[in-house]
Structure 1
């Protein structure tokens, strides 16, 4: 393909998201998660702290993991698309500092993208740019035909 006929990365991301049955996701809507950047190089989303806290008023660790799973899964899905489907098999998170207000941002970048699996590092930061959580998500890549798509 010549440089002039390559599909635009934004067009590719839009086509991928358009193919999903519920691109926003019900849980993402409940948590207030909003995708702000989607590309094969990285996926970024924001999430409000308000409404996602634990009883002590801190951002719930599980909410951070939901944000990490969202950006990591979208990243893995786009990397596998259009021939494969990514399914999560492992996620872990280390929480570095608490957050009590504002918005956090999750950014997934590839650690490994292969034919049968992909691994994504997710950095979650507060509004000051301080890392609040580091997560890693591993996805298996399955042929679309195997999952009925």
Structure 2
């Protein structure tokens, strides 16, 4: 049984974030499939901390947005939205130029919660930059 909504496309996911943080950071969703979403972010000066290393918040923004958009694409029928209730990241490295990529995969797609893992890599070399996990609470209409 597919949990991927047929009314959500890559174009829609890229469009909804244009005037928000994902658009400002240059995030791009690139591939949506059952239980999976891939994205990328070209690295610019705005993604760095004053010490000239990639800011952890930039990496988390890519991973969290990718997992969040994946949740939107996998919401159960009748659900209205979701909210992140927990996230964790382990940062393993950095990049100085190029782009970073993210691959989010569903670990649990329940009626009330979803758990997503994401791996952020240097897009050019495939080297892991960060490991990320989040739990999403599914929101339902109030009765």
Q: Structure 1-normalised TM-score?
A: 0.81
Residue by residue, what CA displacement relative to the aligned partner does 1:47-73 show, whole Å, maximum 9, x if unpaired? 122120111211110000100110000
Larger Rg: 1
Matched residue pairs, number? 138
**Aligned equivalent of 1:32, options 26, 29, 37:** 26
Whole-Å separation in 2 of the counterparts to 1:46 and 1:21: 15
Partner of 1:119: 115
Q: Deviations over 1:82-134 (max 9, x none)?
A: 42122111111000012111100011101111111000001000020011000
Equivalent residue of 1:101, what SS?
coil
- Unmatched tracts of structure 2, length 5 or more: none
* 1:19-58 to 2 correspondences below 5 Å: 22-50=16-44, 51-58=46-53
Q: Which secondary structure does the structure 2 equivalent of 1:77 belong to?
A: helix
- Alignment RMSD: 2.7
| Alpha-carbon shift at residue 24 of structure 1 (Å) | 3.5
In the alignment, which residue of structure 1 is the partner of 2:70?
Answer: 75
Structure with the higher helix share, 1 or 2? 1
- Structure 1: gaps of 5 or more residues: 1-5
Residues 17, 81 of structure 1: alpha-carbon distance in 2 compared, 3 angstrom cutoff: farther
Q: Do the aligned partners of 1:93 and 1:135 also contact (CA within 8 Å) in 2?
A: yes
Matching residue of 2:138: 141
Deviation at 1:33, TM superposition (A): 0.6
Q: Deviations over 1:18-67 (max 9, x none)?
A: 7x993435101111111111233211111122120111211110000100
1:16: how far off? 9.6
1:108 and 2:104 equivalent?
yes
Superposition deviation, residue 76 in structure 1:
1.2
